[in-house]
Amino acid sequence: MRGRWWGLLLTAVIVFLLAYVGLTYLDRGNEPTISYTEFSRQVDAGNVDKIYSKGDAIQGELKSARDNPEGDGDYTRFKTQRPAFADDDLWRQLDTHDVTVTAQPVVRERGVLSNLLFSLIPIVFLLAVWIFVARRMGAGMGGAGGMLGRKAPPKPVELQPGKERTTFADVAGIDEVKGELDDVVDFLEHPDAYRRMGAKMPRGVLLAGSPGTGKTLLARAVAGEAGVPFFSASASEFIEMIVGVGASRVRELFAEARKVAPSIIFIDEIDTIGRMRGGGASVSGHDEREQTLNQILTEMDGFSGSEGVIVIAATNRADILDPALTRPGRFDRVVNVSPPDRGGREAILRIHTRGIPLAEDVDLTQVARTTPGMTGADLANLANEAALLAVKRKQDQVTGSDLSEALEKVQLGAERTLVMPEEDRRRTAYHESGHALLGMLQPGADPVRKITIVPRGRALGVTMSTPEVERYAHSEGYLRGRIIGALGGMAAEQVVYGVVTTGAENDLEQVSNIARAMVARWGMSERVGRLSALPSDPQQAYGLAAAPQTLDVIDAEMRRIVDECYEEAIRKLGDHRGQLNALAEALLENETLEEADAYRIAGITRLTKDDAQ
pLDDT tens digits for range 21-51: 665 555 555 577 788 888 888 888 888 888 8
More confident site: 421 or 156: 421
pLDDT at position 82: 81
Cα distance between residue 291 and residue 301, in whole Å: 15
Q: Give percent above pLDDT 70 in the chain.
A: 79
459, 408 Cβ separation under 8 angstroms: no
Confirm whether residue 63 is marked as ligand binding.
no
* Residue 112: pLDDT over 80: no
448-452/592-594 β-pairing: antiparallel
Which residue ranges form the domains of the chain, and what is each CATH number? 168-337 (3.40.50.300), 342-412 (1.10.8.60), 422-602 (1.20.58.760)
Buried-state track 385-403, b at ≥16 Cβ within 10 A, e below 16:
bbbebbeeeeeeebbbbbb
Lowest-confidence segment of 213-217, 377-381, 516-520 by average pLDDT: 213-217
340, 348 Cβ separation under 8 angstroms: yes
Lowest-confidence segment of 47-51, 167-171, 425-429, 555-559 by average pLDDT: 167-171
- Provide the terminal-to-terminal Cα distance of the chain, rounded to the nearest Å: 67
Average pLDDT of span 335-339: 84
pLDDT at position 483: 92
* Residue 435: pLDDT over 50: yes
φ, ψ dihedrals at 232, nearest 5°: -115, 135
456, 462 Cβ separation under 8 angstroms: yes
Confirm whether residue 215 is marked as ligand binding.
yes
Q: What is the pTM of this model?
A: 0.64
φ, ψ dihedrals at 97, nearest 5°: -95, 20
Average pLDDT of span 479-494: 91
252 is catalytic: no
Confirm whether residue 212 is marked as ligand binding.
yes
Cα distance between residue 47 and residue 41, in whole Å: 9
488, 504 Cβ separation under 8 angstroms: no
Average pLDDT of span 248-273: 82
* Residue 116: pLDDT over 90: no
pLDDT at position 512: 92
Beta carbons within 8 Å of 515's beta carbon, 6+ residues apart: 483, 558, 561, 562
pLDDT at position 564: 93
* Residue 409: pLDDT over 80: yes
pLDDT at position 558: 93
Catalytic residue from among 180, 346, 432, 568:
432
pLDDT tens digits for range 276-307: 766 544 444 346 677 777 777 777 776 554 46
455, 418 Cβ separation under 8 angstroms: yes
Confirm whether residue 100 is marked as ligand binding.
no
Confirm whether residue 286 is marked as ligand binding.
no
Give the chain's count of helices (H) and strands (E): 21, 12
pLDDT tens digits for range 216-253: 888 888 877 777 788 887 777 676 544 556 677 788 88
Q: In whole numbers, what is the pLDDT of the chain averaged over residues?
A: 78
583, 602 Cβ separation under 8 angstroms: yes
Cα distance between residue 258 and residue 301, in whole Å: 14
